[in-house]
Amino acid sequence: MIVLVAGFSMVSADVGQVYAYHYHGGGYYHHGGGYYGGYYGGGYGWGGYGLYSYYYPYYYGYAYYPYYYGLGYGMGYGMGYGGYGYSYPYSYYGQPTQYQLTVNVDPSSASTAVSGGGSYNQGSSATFTANQNIIQVSQNTRYVFSGWTGDYTGTGLSGSITMDAAKTVTAVYKTQYYLSVNTPANVPSIQGAGWYNAGDPATISMSAQTVGGTDSRLVFNGWSVDGNNGPTDTTLTVQMNAPHSVNAQYKQQYYLTVSTDQGTASGSGWYDAGSYAQISATTPPSPFYGVNMVFNGWNGAVDSASSQSTRVLMDGPKSVTGTWRADSTVLYGTIAAVAVAIALIVGAFLVTQRRKQVVTTTYAAPNVKESKAKSSKVESTN
């Protein structure tokens, strides 16, 4: 007697790949070589035969029902129960190998910027991502995504890798610092402000060294870096090892005009605001004999208006003029002296002439008397 028994096995839904092994032995109750073959069969018999089956189904998320078949075979003679075929299937399910994907970030302070790390089945594809291209750390510091290193290289924000072993990937971010460049309101802006990789040099240049008009201007006076005075060259290089603030320093200047109506004036030019300008005027030559040019003073805001050499406070554009007057004292003195001399000469001459007249009269008088005597004598004779 041959009994064919079909075994039915239900496998519940699972995710992943499952390896199944099933064995259906021969019938538990069978004649002959079976456990109770001679006892109930009263004769000889053959034991049951089993059927082995191997299945490697792939199923994901739905129920799968494989069928397993067992063959029980028994034969008996004489009294007793007929052969029974009964199968005892058994099975086991193996777990797939898994590998760990480690996703790091450099610098480590940006650890929240990446995702995708974890355990993955052998042979599967793992995807990892840098969630942000730019991470703003502070107003003047940031991280900028540069690329991946480790078991994967690339510059995209996301990547994939086959998990045939434990893997490690690192998202590399570059640290950048901001360079601010400031100028006064009336000065054109300077190129060079912006973000720089940590450790890189930043070079900025000054193109407009003088800005202003005819009597007021701004003149480049050097750089200040983070509040500290720097070089006065028109080009500056800053090492970006931290955020930096650069100021282009300008000084205010005003123009001073110095003139004079006589002679030569000195001191005209540009002066720093708040400084003092030294000015002077040279004495002009005498226009003619006896007349001297005398400084009459300055017209304008000066320290000492009557001094030929003085100073001017340059708190704005200024204009001063030196004035002169003619001094004829020498001329008048000379004329008076000449007049006195002439008068003295004339007086001396007159005195001399008068003296001559007196002498002449004195010597002429006796002759008259003598003439009169002679005349009287003649008349007496007659």
* Residue 308 contacts residue 320 (beta carbons within 8 Å): no
CA distance 167 to 382: 190
CA distance 231 to 125: 58
Q: What is the pLDDT of residues 236-257, one digit of tens each?
A: 999 999 999 999 999 999 999 9
Q: Which amino acid is at 222?
A: G
Cα Rg of the chain (Å, integer): 66
Residue 364 — very low, low, confident or very high, per pLDDT cuts 50/70/90? low
pLDDT of the residue at 354: 78
Determine the 3-state secondary structure of 112 from DSSP.
Answer: helix
What lies within 8 Å, CB to CB, of 352 at 6+ separation is none
* Residue 20 contacts residue 91 (beta carbons within 8 Å): yes
Paired tokens of 92: 């086991």
User: Mean pLDDT across the chain, nearest whole number?
Assistant: 76
Q: What is the pLDDT of residues 292-346, one digit of tens each?
A: 888 999 999 899 899 999 999 999 999 999 999 887 777 677 777 788 888 888 8
What's the pTM? 0.58
pLDDT of the residue at 241: 96
Is the pLDDT assigned to residue 363 strictly greater than 70? no
* Residue 71 contacts residue 51 (beta carbons within 8 Å): yes
For the chain, domain boundaries: 2-94, 98-178, 254-330, 339-382
Is the pLDDT assigned to residue 56 strictly greater than 50? no
pLDDT of the residue at 329: 73
pLDDT of the residue at 15: 34
**Alpha helices for 158-201 (secondary structure H):** none
Q: Which amino acid is at 156?
A: G
Residue 10 — very low, low, confident or very high, per pLDDT cuts 50/70/90? very low
Determine the 3-state secondary structure of 9 from DSSP.
Answer: coil
First to last CA, the chain: 249
**Alpha helices for the chain (secondary structure H):** 37-41, 329-381
Residue 365 — very low, low, confident or very high, per pLDDT cuts 50/70/90? low
